[in-house]
Amino acid sequence: MDKSDLVQKAKLAEQAERYDDMATAMKSVTEQGGDLSNEDRNLLSVAYKNVVGARRSSWRVISSIEQKSEGNDKKQQMAREYREKIETELQEICHDVLGLLDNFLIANALAPESKVFYLKMKGDYYRYLSEVASGDAKKDTVDNSQKAYQQAFEISKGDMQPTHPIRLGLALNFSVFYYEILNNPDRACSLAKTAFDEAIAELDTLNEDSYKDSTLIMQLLRDNLTRRTEERDRCSTAVIKRKQRAAHVESEPLHRESNSESPRRLGYLKALLPKMNSSGPAYPLASLYVGDLHPDVTEAMLYQKFSPAGPIMSIRVCRDIITRRSLGYAYINFQQPADAECALDTMNYDVLKGRPIRIMWSQRDPGLRKSGVGNIFIKNMDESIDNKALYDTFSAFGNILSCKVVCDEKGSKGYGFVHFETHEAANRAIDTMNGMLLNDRKVFVGHFKSRKEREVEFGTKAMKFTNVYIKNFGEDYGDEKLKGVFSAFGRTLSVRVMKDERGRSRGFGFVNYANHEDAQKAVDEMNGKELNGKVLYVGRAQKRLERQGELKRKFDQIKQDRIQRYQGVNLYVKNLDDSIDDERLRKEFAPYGTITSAKVMTDGSQSKGFGFVCFSSPEEATKAVTEMNGRIVATKPLYVALAQRREERKAILTNKYMQRLASLRTMSSPIIDSYHQTGYYMTVPQVRAQ
């Protein structure tokens, strides 16, 4: 059968939804050699995507059944054998596709977009393999998937527009790989955001033929980014390895019994908990948030874990709207608040599928979450104290709504927050724990203060400074010599000249006065004064973060002044002929007024096809736009408009994009409309009261 007949057969099979036949036909087309047309390439992709997609879906279902069958050996064995059969089929399909890619498609690809398409496809099918692989085989497939995605990514950045649907699709799949396979939400969010922002900036250049495809993929990127950013902020500790449990503080009431004893304590705690909470309001809900879940944790597993605490009404594992993969958190609704409270107290940070789960009250009122009432701040903590250790330490003082040790990629940053249900519980924790030794470190515990409150407090302290910073006094000044100069203004507590590793002065130092008035007098009289031929700088000593903030404010002010200066007088000119340089650009616009600057943007010596012309008044700039926009200069018609700041341009393009997207949504879209729910619900049957 020749190529055209095989393609026609594949199209018929697609209409009949017989995707195995479609894949067989397109495999034969591919094996005839040569670069595939865009239509043939898409037929091949659709065929195998449906074939492998059915197996992936089946594998997930049977894996879930296998996990639910624990305790029933025969049923579990049947499920395991069937899962292994599906795995074998899935692996054979993936290897079939990878063979076509390596032996025919990638090598024969002529256009950059074809090569990117096939490399993305290669990354996808290695990713599918990694979902069912284990051990060394999983590591190899993950590495191969990342290499293929990265190679496609590099080519797409150099040879394809940011709005190209293939480049956007690659960014979408690559971000899924980072999120699901490498468990790196930060990298996934960064990649998706960059792709979306770059596409938004170029939206007005988008080809109408690919507009719908590109905007739909951009919508998926944005939706994924929104969900994953929210999840990353909520569960930022999920990617942090659990450290060694912190040593118990000296006070015995802060010790909690081991998790293995939790079921035996349930009855006792149910009787005890109402008394423990008598000092505060009873929590009105019976809903728990369960975070830091392993991706394979299901509703059935959570039911098995939490049902000993009491009757459960529903369980929901939240999932990705597109991939249906778990987002790592769930909501559990109990019939009785006391049962939920019991589960929170006895099961928090229990290990489920190798990960300690984090349980909190499900607080959907953002006003309470952000009010700061009951929220305390702890600093100077040992690095070994993790979320569980912090929770164990402070749960003795009252109900905890949330508990978090702040971390970066290296681990704990030494401070954290505990949000209590009541202000009284927070006060008890502060009174007891402030100044206590935890792991041989004296911790500070105090009420949480918002950034605005901290800035006001810091400003008040800054007005009463006593520490003075001096620089530019030369290398021949030591501590005593500097003290001799500055002690004339009042009693000093300390004077120090900063030195390098060789003991030589670095030309700056600090003088700390006993009184603010003396420090202020030293600044007023010595700042700008000449000493040994050098002009001194003398000012209030600042912390690094404060200096950085002040420099940023100065930079922002300069930037704002520059914006105001060029508002309405700076023109953006694009579609320039390659022969036009700065001088020619100035000459073309000179008849319309006084030009303060004219610049063609270049990459090395090569024109980038656009530039800027700045006039001395808005009237001159407006006249130039009216006369020059659309005029042919050299060989091309110019586009001339008032220059916009990047933020303004991005806002306009985003608004335009959202308007077009809204019009697209009026049409039926199988990509968007088929997915509405963000998770599955497991509703537990309830026994009717007799």
In the chain, domain spans: 3-232, 287-451, 464-541, 563-648
Q: What span, in angstroms and rounded, lies between the C-alpha atoms of 291 and 234? A: 9
Q: Long-range contact list for 14-17, CB < 8 A, 24+ apart? A: 14/43, 14/46, 14/47
Domain 287-451, what fold?
Alpha-Beta Plaits (3.30.70)
Report whether 377 contacts 287 (CB < 8 A).
Answer: no
Tens-place pLDDT, residues 179-218: 889 988 889 989 999 998 888 888 767 776 777 788 878 8
Provide the terminal-to-terminal Cα distance of the chain, rounded to the nearest Å.
Answer: 72
CB atoms within 10 A of CB 437: 12
Q: Are strands 375-379 and 441-442 parallel, antiparallel or unpaired?
A: unpaired
What is the average per-residue pLDDT within 90-117? 94
Tens-place pLDDT, residues 346-398: 888 888 998 888 888 886 555 555 556 789 999 999 988 888 888 888 888 88
Q: How confident is the model at residue 658 (pLDDT cuts 50, 70, 90)?
A: low
Quote the DSSP letter at residue 575: S
Query: Which tokens sit at 455?
Result: 């800035």
Per CATH, the homologous superfamily of domain 464-541 is RRM (RNA recognition motif) domain (3.30.70.330)
Among 24-33, 520-529, 549-558, 628-637, the range scoring the smallest mean pLDDT is 549-558
Q: What span, in angstroms and rounded, lies between the C-alpha atoms of 528 and 8? A: 85
CB atoms within 10 A of CB 101: 20
Q: How confident is the model at residue 281 (pLDDT cuts 50, 70, 90)?
A: very low
What is the average per-residue pLDDT within 508-533? 90
Average pLDDT, rounded, for the chain: 81
By the 10 Å C-beta count (0-12 exposed, 13-18 middle, 19+ buried), 376 is classed as buried
Residue with tokens 């990514």: 153
pLDDT at 97: 96
By the 10 Å C-beta count (0-12 exposed, 13-18 middle, 19+ buried), 387 is classed as buried
Q: How confident is the model at residue 149 (pLDDT cuts 50, 70, 90)?
A: very high
Query: Which tokens sit at 75?
Result: 């049923």
pLDDT at 144: 96
More confident residue, 234 or 510: 510
Q: What span, in angstroms and rounded, lies between the C-alpha atoms of 330 and 324? A: 14
Per-residue CA distances from 690 to 196, 314, 650, 687 (Å):
58, 22, 64, 9
Tens-place pLDDT, residues 401-414: 788 888 887 888 89
Query: Which tokens sit at 211?
Result: 């507009």
CB atoms within 10 A of CB 74: 8
Length of the chain: 690
pLDDT of 570 strictly over 50 = yes
H/E stretch holding 607 reads strand 606-615
Query: In sequence order, what are the residues at sequence separation of 6 or more whose Cβ sits closer than 8 angstroms to the Cβ of residue 38?
Result: none
pLDDT of 666 strictly over 70 = no
Per-residue CA distances from 347 to 264, 273, 307, 422 (Å):
12, 15, 11, 22
pLDDT of 458 strictly over 70 = no
Phi-psi domain of 133 (left: phi exceeds 0; alpha: psi -120 through 50; beta: other): beta
CATH of domain 563-648: 3.30.70.330
Per CATH, the homologous superfamily of domain 3-232 is 14-3-3 domain (1.20.190.20)
Phi-psi domain of 267 (left: phi exceeds 0; alpha: psi -120 through 50; beta: other): alpha
Q: What span, in angstroms and rounded, lies between the C-alpha atoms of 529 and 527? A: 6
What is the average per-residue pLDDT within 248-256? 33
Among 136-140, 328-332, 563-567, 581-585, the range scoring the smallest mean pLDDT is 563-567
Residue with tokens 């903030």: 549
Nearest residue to 240 (alpha-carbon basis) of 388, 409, 389: 409
Question: Do 287-451 and 464-541 share a fold?
Answer: yes
Report whether 407 contacts 240 (CB < 8 A).
Answer: yes
Nearest residue to 523 (alpha-carbon basis) of 495, 554, 472, 489: 489
Per-residue CA distances from 66 to 59, 70, 82, 300, 419 (Å):
10, 7, 10, 11, 39
